[in-house]
Chains A and B, each alone.
Chain A
């Protein structure tokens, strides 16, 4: 079974530029999560989707961050414009409705210069 796929793996941009991350969850997993992990810290939830509906986006900085999960499968997370403090690893995870286990992708390491 294929795991959670994320791309790109690495991204370097200058501040004020836009950036987008893509996630393909495990087939059949209806719940999708985006986390941000700062260096030396654990992941922090940005947004959770149940199918195509964003049901918890309380931690998403909505002035510059946006996300979508069209058709309830793949998801994209966008930052526009990026700031220096956005440098982090952005992790996507998915979960099947019958389990509490979340499966994580390898993450996208974003560096904002």
Chain B
């Protein structure tokens, strides 16, 4: 089963705008990771946030984690057409940090 539920399912924005994507989960996690997947390609790791962290930044990416609400958000600032892709959140849980992926969010950035 997939427990990393993302919201919205699809997002279309204009280049230069910010994109916010949300992920909710149901059980305790070790960390939460966001991945990007371009059409027909493999997944690329974007950022990891541990359960004891609340916010992390990487370039134009900002991820937050609220363990009380069991939710995370990924913000992409100043979006570019090249950011067009599917974005997945993955929960790492258990002793071996097994990843469980959500269904993904389709982001379209219009030039």
The CA of A45 and the CA of B58, in the complex, are separated in Å by 27
User: Are A42 and B2 within 8 A (Cβ)?
Assistant: yes
Contact with B along A6-36 (1 / 0, CB 8 A): 0000000000000000000000000000000
Q: Does B45 contact A (CB under 8 A)?
A: yes
User: Are B42 and A91 within 8 A (Cβ)?
Assistant: yes
Complex partner residue of B42 from A40, A41, A45, A107, CB under 8 angstroms: A107
* B16-44 interface (Cβ within 8 A of A): 30-31, 33, 35, 40-44
User: Are B42 and A105 within 8 A (Cβ)?
Assistant: yes
Closest to A42 in B: B101
Shortest CB-to-CB span from A55 to chain B, Å, is 7
Binding site for B on A (CB under 8 A): 4, 40-45, 48, 55-56, 91, 93, 100-107, 109
Interface size on B, residues (CB 8 A): 25
Contact with A along B4-20 (1 / 0, CB 8 A): 10000000000000000
Question: Which residues from chain A contact B99 at a C-beta distance below 8 Å?
Answer: 45, 102
Shortest CB-to-CB span from B5 to chain A, Å, is 10
Contact with A along B78-95 (1 / 0, CB 8 A): 000000000010101000
Binding site for A on B (CB under 8 A): 2, 4, 30-31, 33, 35, 40-45, 48, 88, 90, 92, 96-104
17 A-B residue pairs with CB within 8 Å? A40-B103, A42-B2, A42-B90, A42-B101, A43-B43, A43-B88, A43-B101, A45-B100, A100-B31, A100-B97, A101-B33, A101-B45, A102-B45, A104-B42, A106-B41, A107-B42, A109-B40
Shortest CB-to-CB span from B107 to chain A, Å, is 15
Q: Which of A43, A55, A104 counts the most chain B CB atoms within 10 A?
A: A43
User: Are A4 and B4 within 8 A (Cβ)?
Assistant: no
